[in-house]
Amino acid sequence: MNITLKVWRQKNADAPGALVEYNVAGVVPEMSFLEMLDALNERLVAEGQDPVAFDSDCREGICGMCDLVIDGQAHGPDKEATTCQLHMRRYRDGDVVTVEPFRAKAFPIVKDLCVDRSAFDRVQAAGGFVSINTGNAVDGNAILIPHDEAEKAMDAAACIGCGACVAACPNASAMLFVAAKVSQYALLPQGRPEREKRVLAMREAMDQEGFGHCTNEYECEAACPKGIKVSNIARLNREYLRAALTSD
């Protein structure tokens, strides 16, 4: 099938950008969306043109690198899936598809569809590590953790830091990302000794990076490829209030 792409092209953060139209022929339903972009780039290189820059790594929905907005939706139309998990069987012959980078002040454009998401790294680094000496692996039943709490912690830890929550939020808020990272530690006894320090530092770092405020639009949960729930944001707010009231 033939697909018409309208792709955002921009040489760097300071250069003006625009949508450029390309026709991609010979697309087969089994192709992933990124494989279709690979086919386009192979043609552009063969023609002596600059290929479209986009990020990807694992192509298995794990790394969170494939940060594309497809027809206005972060990662595309499939629910709880990354861009690399989106396949061309979703489209029909002759479809016109618009591909843009994530749009957020804290995610400046590097080139074309690539954005700098190192703000997430700095926010997470501000939270620090679990500093207690855990030693060797202990028996699984040595620290008793209620099943429900363990499941909630694991669900929060599933966050891959892709930034879809920021791209989908009308305020470009990073609350869901920060909430997931805070929750995965706050729910488990190993992370509780530093819970106050962690949440205060991460909230401050988030604000310093220029992310917007949460106004409960719930777009973040809808766009998250790992299904992280907004209930984690409520937990983040409780953790922050608790830390603000008890810290010196």
pLDDT digits over 189-209, tens only? 888 888 999 999 999 999 999
Contact 81, 225 (CB under 8 A): yes
pLDDT of residue 138: 66
Mean pLDDT on 162-166: 97
Give, in order, the Cα–Cα distances in Å from 25 to each of 3, 31, 41, 177, 245.
Answer: 7, 12, 12, 38, 61
Q: CA–CA separation, 80 vs 33, rounded Å?
A: 15
Q: CA–CA separation, 102 vs 150, rounded Å?
A: 32
pTM over 0.85: yes
pLDDT of residue 137: 66
pLDDT higher for 246 or 217?
A: 217
pLDDT digits over 63-116, tens only? 999 989 999 999 999 999 999 999 999 999 999 999 999 999 999 999 999 999
Give, in order, the Cα–Cα distances in Å from 95 to each of 2, 6, 22, 25, 158.
Answer: 8, 11, 12, 12, 33
The full set of domains in the chain, from first to last, is 3-111 (3.10.20.30), 117-246 (1.10.1060.10)
Q: CA–CA separation, 111 vs 4, rounded Å?
A: 21
| Structure tokens that stand for 113 in this block | 């569809």
For the chain, the average pLDDT equals 94
Counted residue by residue, the chain has a size of: 248
| Phi, psi dihedrals of residue 76, rounded to the nearest 5° | 105, -175
pLDDT of residue 248: 65
